[in-house]
A and B are shown apart, each in its own frame.
Chain A
Amino acid sequence: MTTTGLAGSAIGAGELLGLYERMAVIRRTEKAAHDLFLAGLVKGTTHLAAGHEAVAVGASAALRPDDYVFATYRGHHHAIARGATPEECLAELMSRATGVCKAKGGSMHLTKASAGMLGSYAIVGAHLPLAAGAAWSAKLRGSGQVAVAFFGDGATNIGAFHEALNIAAVWALPVLFVCENNLYMEYTPIGSVTAVANPAADRAPAYAIPAELIDGNDVVVVTEAVSRAAERARSGGGPTVIEARTYRHFGHSRTDPATYRPADEVAEWLRRDPLDIARGRLAEMGVAPEQVAEADERAARLVAEAVAAAKAAPAPDPREAFTDVWADGGSAWRT
């Protein structure tokens, strides 16, 4: 396992400003989702990823458009990072016909297959073998694609994690296992239920998989780590585990106030906000504050328009309940 701190970077100022803007879009989308939930316009549940933006945006920056991404129920950031629009994501949350999954998936299942975002999965750990399978497929087809599974710290204690790591190593699959370690599985500190200090990175050596423990709040660090791992995967070097330390700004789900987290811990992590870190890097690179402000404004406008459009969109046609079970588009189970 290697530990990577703030590294000198090959990412230019223009590219970083683009990554910043995408993170700003995600941050504002999550805030909008929160407000819409409180307003009763989003039913069921949400698991917001505010605070995790750098993991999704950094990884996306390092991947090819045809690579595959698999995320969890906390996956809005991955959908948007890969190219889903805030409008189609918010419309999905708000049960609108224009939702990215036609309002059949909801917050926990955002998917944008045309952008290689192959789903958000709500059974903890289930998608790690799927990512390995997509990587196996890429290997069989000789396509040079890689697959990435993003998952929480809590997922490292479920069997599918271990089955996926083992077979990925044995078959040398081009897959990246990226743990977004936000220190909590739901309401329980991960350290209190896990035998090792770093839940993903410390397990990787047992499967002979190289691991990196990185700052998941620095988009540059994430981009570089994922680039390295993807390059190794594409050149036949097999899987990598990346454990990205991060922190969620909202509670686990819905309106969870997250009172189980110590105030000083929260304050410390809010000081390490991924948008602030990117802003600091932009300043260091000589990007004018006005340019950053313009990016923020564009993000705000995009999300405000997305909210308005999603609110205005119609509910799904009730007959949609009976489509898309089978590949023929229907749901008939008798002949």
Chain B
Amino acid sequence: MADMSGGAAGAGGAPGGTAAGSAAHAAPAAGAEQAAPAAPAITYREAVSEALARELRRDPAVVCLGEDIGRAGGVFKTTAGLFDEFGPSRIWDTPISEQAILGLAMGAAMTGMRPVAEIMFSDFFAVCWDYLANEIPKMRYMTGGQVTVPLVVRTANGGGLGFGAQHSQAVENWALAIPGLKVVAPSTPADVIGLMASAVRSDDPVVFFEHKGLFASKGPGAPPGHVVPLGQASVARAGTDVTVVGLAATVPMALAAADRLAAEGVSAEVVDLRCLIPLDMASVLESVRKTSRLLIVEENPYQGGWGGTVASIVADEGFELLDAPIRRVAAACVPLPFADALEDEVIPTVEKVLTAARALLAY
């Protein structure tokens, strides 16, 4: 993709690819986005409110709803400033009624609005799952295409911050399991802005996962009009020896591991999926064609995690490209524990990525 010099490298604090790696890398599709010029650095958190503000300014049909998103600016401050700029007719504080939040968003989306609903923690999807599993994704299909549901469900996702088992899960695989939802999980501030623009403008429902562990991370912002199409992975770092596929917080993790591997003389390519639906397997297969080794790093539990889908497609369609088995670094099959020392045991870490990569290279 065309943004190798842009946001992806920034958030992870990792350098871009080696000259050799970059030269060897063939862009899998014509990049629709422009490489960002050196925009001032912003945090991932600020990027969320900036992304929403841009869409609210652009289209009067965009309206936000959620708990504490108004004057309070959101519990993660991801909607800071929106109430002041757009007022109560665009930014709606709701009761603690997750079913009503998603149900109202859906009803409004069916009747001409483009709602952006916030579910404070992705764990709370479980209390409004009917809307995500049965209502929002199926309406168009069940009615033979009569009804369009253009909405975005934003949510804070993922672990690493010690919030315990009910506020730390990475649940993008829940959404992946439902035909009819588009699933987005950016890793950089620029991608937050570019992907949010696509999500809000999409006529399909989009679940937009904002990773809690990335809110404080910094990277280049995005130029005006920045749009990242849904379903285009980015090569966050080019390399030749092993492909490391990540999503959201596991992208900077993979980039940090790639730095250490570079010191060991190994050239790792890091592919940031950016979206699970549409899933850009063309970019993954293209990378594996070059490296012949695939390591998938995901925060979902190994059982049922998105890496299983990626692995199965590569096994199906890229078997002859591989020189080694596909490996996955995923969360363990236990609820997320509270203590740092325990949480690190369960979710992926740079050390686990390194160990897996070294074993894969030695295969």
Contacts and interface: CB of A to CB of B under 8 A. Distances in A.
A in complex with B = yes
Interface of A: 68, 70, 99-105, 109, 111-114, 118-119, 121, 123, 126-138, 140-141, 147, 159-160, 163-164, 166-167, 170-171, 323-327, 329, 331-335
Nearest to B148: A327
Nearest to B135: A126
Interface string B141-183: 1111111101000000000000000000000000000011000
A150 B30 CA distance: 50
B278 A137 contact: no
A130 B231 contact: no
20 contacts: A101-B146, A102-B145, A113-B147, A118-B107, A126-B103, A128-B103, A129-B99, A129-B131, A133-B107, A134-B108, A134-B110, A136-B107, A137-B107, A160-B100, A163-B99, A170-B95, A333-B179, A333-B278, A334-B231, A334-B282
B251 interface: no
Contacts of A112: 146
Contacts of A119: 139, 142-143, 147
B104 A132 contact: yes
B111 A68 contact: yes
B140 interface: yes
Contacts of B103: 126-130, 132-133, 160, 163-164
Contacts of A329: 145
A126 B94 CA distance: 18
B104 A136 contact: yes
B104 A126 contact: no
Nearest to B98: A163
A137 B113 contact: yes
A100 B146 CA distance: 9
Given A118-B110, A126-B134, A327 B204 contact: yes
Contacts of B109: 133
Given A103-B144, A132-B107, A327-B204, 5 more contacts: A118-B107, A118-B147, A129-B106, A140-B63, A166-B97
A109 B145 CA distance: 13
A170 B101 CA distance: 13
B142 A138 contact: no
Contacts of A126: 99, 103, 130-131, 134-135
A119 B134 CA distance: 13
B3 interface: no
Given A140-B108, A327-B204, A105 B144 contact: yes
Contacts of B140: 324-327
B200 to A, nearest CB: 14
B105 interface: yes
B280 A164 contact: no
B329 interface: no
